[in-house]
Structure 1
Amino acid sequence: MNKDLEKIHKEIERYREKIKYDTVDYPIESICRRFENKKIIIPNYQREFVWTIDKQSKLIESILMGFPIPFLFFYEDKDKGILEVVDGAQRLQSVYFFLENKLKLEGLKKLKSLNNCYFNDLPEKFKNKFENTALRVILLEEKTNNEFRKEIFNRLNTTSQKLEPIEVLLGTYADEEFIEFLKRCSKNEKYKKLCPISLEKQKKKENLELVLRFFAYSDSLDEYDGKVTNFLEDYVKKNLRDFDKERLLKNFENMLVFVEKYFPNGFAKSKSSISTPRTRFEAISVGVNLALNENKKLNTNIEEWLESKEFKKVTTTDSANNKSKLVERIEFVKNKLLGDNIHHDIRI
């Protein structure tokens, strides 16, 4: 038992030594000026700005009413003379947009007279109060390395549920080679044309998640247990630095060429669709890839089943992440393409 206690003590201390921080207060005006002058930066593992006008407005209303605001987390890079935002990028940018008269307040429930107002519309007294309001910052010291900053980001955003699981995953491993590979694939022009994704979903990294799902299900479908987040993270971890880039890219590009040639609407339901259902993308992309890798001579008479009740049934969103449902829709497409009716030698 004593040995166990000693082990616990050492393990806790080892991690505590790696995370050093201080608590400081910065006036809003000072934070915004430093942000504008790039003395405060938002690293690439942070999400894009996605807060709605109403959400930004509610934050500003809370500040004007004197309510306490959740801590911001910054990392101090003394060599570069900058502060890096670890958590709080959405709040920081909202405050900055308001101070710069780029945010018009909307949907306020308490300070209703401020609806449709910009910062410059405030009485001078409250302009000064707003600028002088101190935001409390947890300032991580230089000892807190990049790995632990990402871990803090991961834990803060997992417990507060501010991010989609894919955003936390991509943020945690942002600088890894495999994540950069996924990003490049998601910017493929053919992919973007065939797989329309709404701007709102793009901001939440849906385009990247679909690419990741394509590779993960194509490579490791047998290992899938119905827990998508864990499955995708395990696949990313397995491929962080050691992955067959040439093979994966070839599979991705060959699949896109086939879909462009034989699926009239790409992955979408219609030519006018502004978004692509995940179930449909998974069925078509993975089904096509598995079929191409099994036999280049495929049945390309696709329209006979693409609009069928059977295909619509297997691509329903009900219990979409259930393993049997996932396998069923992928196998449906794969088997239709490998069928015995009309075959063409596909040259890719």
Structure 2
Amino acid sequence: MENKEQLFEKIFKQHLKIETYSQSIDSLYSPRLKNRIDYKPYYQRNYVWDNNKATYFIESILIGTEVPPLIFFDNNKNIEIIDGRQRFETILRFMDNQFSLSTKGLKILRQLGKKTFSELAKTDNEILDNFLDAKIRIINFTLVNEPPLDDYLADRVKKEIFSRYNTGITPLKKSEVDNAKYDEDELSNEFKDILNNDLALRKKIYNTFFKPTKNKKDNPPVEDIMSFIRRFLILPMYPIKSYASGGGRTEILTLLYEVFSNNTDDCKLVISDFLKKLDYISKIKEYSENNHLKNNRLALETILWGLGVLDQENISINFDNDFIVKASNYINEHISEYSTEDYQFNKIVLARFNATTNFLSQFSKKNLDIYIVADSDKKEELKELRKPKDTTTALSELESLRLNKPEPSRNSIDDIVRTMQRRRFLVRPSYQRQEVINPTKASSIIESILLDIKLPPIFVFKRNDGINEVIDGQQRLLTILGFIGEKYLSENDELTVSKNHSFYLRKLRILKELDGSKFSDLTDEQQGKILDFQLYIIEIDENQNPHFDPIDLFIRLNDKPYPIRVNSFEMWNSWVDNSIIDEIKKLTSDLKPWFYLKQLSRKSDRDRMESEELLTSLIYLDYSLNHSNSYKGLDIFQKTDRINARIGNKATITSVFQEVSENDDAKKNYFKSVKNIKSFVKKVKFVLIDRDVDVEIQEFLKAELDTLFKANKENKFFRRTMQDFYILWFVLNDINFEMVKHHRINLKNEIIDIFSYMKDIPLENQEKNNGFEVFSKMISDLKDKYKKQERKLKLTEKEKREFIKEQNNISPFSGAPVFVGDDIEVDHIDSLATGGDDEKNNLQILHKDENREKSAK
């Protein structure tokens, strides 16, 4: 008889029919079909798009560009949306007039700003008709041939499909969007040429202005550095108070750079001048280090901004040693103004730029406050810059693309390889990002191919020179080429290999027997299945669409808002056992009024399941501590003037969930950890209530928990963090409940002292990890103080007789007579559970039934 794993694999091989088709919005959202579609099944995350992201997506439909397909699971009764909830619900919300199009979200059709669906129906009927006629591509999974499907298997099949269409997504970073956006910008390209050919320069810039990461410090990405350069070329033209507020920041920076670039006659002069400033900043950093002066990347970038401000004022400096010394000493003396904690907050940004402005004003003997707060002329200039441009022409140019969307063709992988060998396929045009897919995700794609699960379509721009330029699908193509060991045409017109060239399969979820296999290890049948696998190719012909912009489509398809992180509750929710997820969600719901990470305060706030992720992390810490062979839980460390705590790698939580899903004993232990975290929260509640509560209890607990985390200090920028909860768990986890209940007043004060120290380590303890040593001793002393002593002391019969005699043959509990020969027990006067000592002077003799009654009480 087949086991569940064999049946699971059989369903994918024999009982899933997969078809692709397109359907108009008008048909897809018809009352009859809409009622069959469940767009928010239990394994989907919440709706998280804000109005700007939703508007951008609606605009994509209105201008006729491509949007990613919807993935349906049709069980013949109803249709569940496996992937695409955000897109489907956005269209639904728009058609129900739940939001109007935001000006910020519109990149091309600015004249439609603030209009709802109903208002478009009145004033722009042609545009609305095109919207309703627009085709949405659908990949539909249907169960066929009477599959042996119970609720457990049905759940696993749907979650497996969801996971395959989500875990492979690696959204574009802002620097990668910028790289595409400025692909044809002359100034950017000249900068890029220099950076591409000078690794030492890239490292110098990266080490000076970036928070270093392991995978970037040896070969810093050009696109990251270019985003930084573009921003600081034009930041002196943008008043810092407006910049810090964040309102329209990205839009204004983009517009300012476009004006700056378009008015630059001599790119080489701009580059030379900027590199000179960068070199000068490096000397300030070097001087500070050599003279043991405090400095950091945020201080240095404000000095870079300041040099640009002096340029704006036509104030020249000699780039001599005097400025280096004065700037270094000023930063050292005012380092608190350049805090790296919460450095993106509005007031923190203002504080550091204000500090540098004060220094530059003293140095230049000129008031530079205008660069912090805009005067009326500057406000008018920025207002004029942001005025919507006439986009009627843009609409007409895109008309042909909207009305002539090509249907996908089917090309086998073998066909595509042959086309590449003829050098007609450009996988990596210049606006594409670097190869980012890792071997585990790549293996999942190959497994999908072997299971005949359709991949999302590849978008190709067929240029007039005959080259097929890949707009979207690069990562999938490189995965396939890498596995079968074929080369591809790079952006430099050279045949090259994938970074995962000839990789072996790993961590397969269904075809586990192929783990460790390379393409050459597969059978002829399996190799043939890969080479014959049909990829859907959507080809946009330049000859028929002369105004088509491939970069715009690349950004729209890849600039995914709020992607699901792999190791997050949003993802765990999609595949972890229902009983576990339901328990975490119920616990979160019960505690959300006060025990939360982030509270939704506005209608626009997005519920990304952070509080569920908090409780999941705490449960993991308990599970790792009590039910794992090796503790891989909490990493606590000092960082200058603070103690930080983190779970080193949240992938370990994913591993625990995988273990729990495959092992019944592990699952039982997991629920024990859930119970332990409930007990922990109960202890927190007792610690917080240190007086009579005269307001609603949830509000009281919320305020007191904030007070505890703030450590009785006023903090305008306070927000709860994961590490606040981690440290609280670390403190209370080992202390039993009775101890907490009896010593709650003192415990609260002592915990506040711990938080006060960990968030502001005194200057004398900030070096050589001394702060961590003090913190560790504070924790150790507190745990020792409230540690329950083990019961080791035993009385001899002679000693029991002496105790009864000393008690005058009277029970201290009931006052009843007690004699040698009665059924008696030795009891602690002050319970060990509440801090009593296991010593003779803390012992008494009671009747056995009395002692049991006392214990019950």
**TM-score, with structure 1 as normaliser:** 0.78
Change beyond 3 A, Cα 1:332–1:291:
farther
**2:773 & 2:81 partners in 1: Cα distance?**
43
Matched with 1:32 is 29
Contact between 2:15 and 2:143, CA under 8 Å: does it hold in 1? Answer: no
- Relative CO higher for 1 or 2, CA cutoff 8 Å, sep ≥ 6? 1
Matched with 1:185 is 587
**2:22 & 2:575 partners in 1: Cα distance?**
27
User: Which secondary structure does the structure 2 equivalent of 1:24 belong to?
Assistant: strand
Matched with 1:198 is 599
Displacement after TM superposition at 1:220 (Å) = 0.6
Matched with 2:117 is 119
> Structure 1 residue 224 and structure 2 residue 670: aligned?
no
1:277 to 721, 735, 756: 721
Contact between 1:105 and 1:116, CA under 8 Å: does it hold in 2? Answer: yes
CA-to-partner distance for each residue in 1:191-245, whole Å, 9 max, x for gaps?
A: 6413352328872111111111111111214432765332111222333453257
User: Which secondary structure does the structure 2 equivalent of 1:93 belong to?
Assistant: helix
2:162 to 153, 163, 169: 153
Contact between 2:597 and 2:610, CA under 8 Å: does it hold in 1? Answer: no
Matched with 1:208 is 612
**281-290 or 236-245: bigger deviation:** 236-245
Change beyond 3 A, Cα 1:195–1:99:
closer
Equivalent residue runs for 1:68-79 within 5 Å:
68-78=66-76
Change beyond 3 A, Cα 1:298–1:119:
same
Contact between 2:70 and 2:84, CA under 8 Å: does it hold in 1? Answer: yes
Equivalent residue runs for 1:314-325 within 5 Å:
none
Equivalent residue runs for 1:75-114 within 5 Å:
75-78=73-76, 80=77, 82-106=78-102, 107=104, 108-114=106-112
Change beyond 3 A, Cα 1:336–1:65:
farther
Change beyond 3 A, Cα 1:286–1:186:
farther
The residue type equivalent to 1:210 in the other structure is L
> Structure 1 residue 256 and structure 2 residue 745: aligned?
no
Matched with 2:785 is 340
**1:329 & 1:150 partners in 2: Cα distance?**
47
Matched with 2:660 is 239
| Structure 1, unpaired ranges of 5+ | 1-11, 315-326
**150-159 or 98-107: bigger deviation:** 150-159
Matched with 2:137 is 136
The residue type equivalent to 2:68 in the other structure is P
**202-211 or 223-232: bigger deviation:** 223-232
CA-to-partner distance for each residue in 1:155-204, whole Å, 9 max, x for gaps?
A: 3222224213321122112x521221111211223x64133523288721
Structure showing greater Rg: 2
**TM-score, with structure 2 as normaliser:** 0.34
Displacement after TM superposition at 1:307 (Å) = 4.3
User: Which secondary structure does the structure 2 equivalent of 1:187 belong to?
Assistant: helix
Displacement after TM superposition at 1:15 (Å) = 5.0
Displacement after TM superposition at 1:311 (Å) = 2.3
CA-to-partner distance for each residue in 1:108-133, whole Å, 9 max, x for gaps?
A: 12100011011122211221111111
Equivalent residue runs for 1:9-20 within 5 Å:
16-17=13-14, 19-20=16-17
Change beyond 3 A, Cα 1:184–1:283:
same
Contact between 2:37 and 2:80, CA under 8 Å: does it hold in 1? Answer: yes
User: Which secondary structure does the structure 2 equivalent of 1:159 belong to?
Assistant: coil
The residue type equivalent to 1:101 in the other structure is N
**2:705 & 2:684 partners in 1: Cα distance?**
6
User: Which secondary structure does the structure 1 equivalent of 2:43 belong to?
Assistant: coil
Two-structure CA RMSD over aligned residues (Å): 3.8
Displacement after TM superposition at 1:48 (Å) = 0.5
Displacement after TM superposition at 1:289 (Å) = 2.2
Displacement after TM superposition at 1:63 (Å) = 0.6
2:574 to 146, 171, 189: 171
**1:158 & 1:333 partners in 2: Cα distance?**
42
Change beyond 3 A, Cα 1:60–1:76:
same
User: Which secondary structure does the structure 2 equivalent of 1:47 belong to?
Assistant: coil
Contact between 1:28 and 1:133, CA under 8 Å: does it hold in 2? Answer: yes
CA-to-partner distance for each residue in 1:36-85, whole Å, 9 max, x for gaps?
A: 8431002110011000100100011111111011111001111x2x1110
Change beyond 3 A, Cα 1:85–1:207:
same
**1:100 & 1:230 partners in 2: Cα distance?**
40
Change beyond 3 A, Cα 1:217–1:248:
closer
Contact between 2:94 and 2:100, CA under 8 Å: does it hold in 1? Answer: yes
Matched with 1:292 is 736
Change beyond 3 A, Cα 1:332–1:204:
farther
